[in-house]
């Protein structure tokens, strides 16, 4: 019996900055809550090791013909990623209460 395929999960620098900014903002009000959110987001992302296609294609990008980015929702945040061979690259962590289409288009479609 063969073991299930695993994928390496890595974080793009901009995604790390997104996550740090979220944690910093939350820590101003509650360091404990900030730590819980950090753990929850990191745990959600780590699950992509075994099931990278579990997330849906990002609807705002799909509407523009871009289907290579997927997302996991870890309310109220969206973890945006892409699968590249045997690797999953986390590309953004975005607050879903923001205007996502403008932000995603700027980030992923800019030349």
pLDDT band at 38 (very low <50, low <70, confident <90, very high): very high
Residue 61's pLDDT is: 84
Q: Report the distance separating Cα 55 and Cα 2, nearest Å.
A: 24
H-helix segments, the chain: 13-29, 31-46, 59-62, 100-109
Residue 39's pLDDT is: 97
pTM of the predicted model as reported, rounded to 2 decimal places: 0.86
Give the number of other Cβ atoms within 10 Å of residue 17's Cβ.
13
Tokens encoding 24? 């910093």
* Of the candidates 41, 23, 33, 53, the residue with the CA atom closest to the CA atom of residue 78: 41
Tokens encoding 8? 């390496």
Structural domains in the chain?
8-109 (3.30.2310.20)
């Amino acid at each position: 019996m063969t073991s299930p395929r695993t994928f390496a999960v890595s974080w793009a620098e901009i995604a790390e900055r997104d996550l740090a900014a979220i944690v910093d903002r939350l820590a101003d009000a509650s360091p404990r809550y900030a730590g819980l959110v950090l753990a929850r987001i990191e745990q959600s992302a780590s699950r992509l090791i075994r099931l990278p296609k579990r997330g849906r294609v990002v609807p705002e990008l799909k509407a523009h013909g871009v289907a290579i980015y997927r997302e996991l929702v870890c309310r109220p945040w969206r973890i945006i990623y892409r699968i590249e061979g045997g690797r999953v690259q986390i590309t953004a962590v975005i607050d879903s209460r923001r205007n996502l289409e403008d932000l995603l288009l700027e980030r992923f479609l800019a030349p």
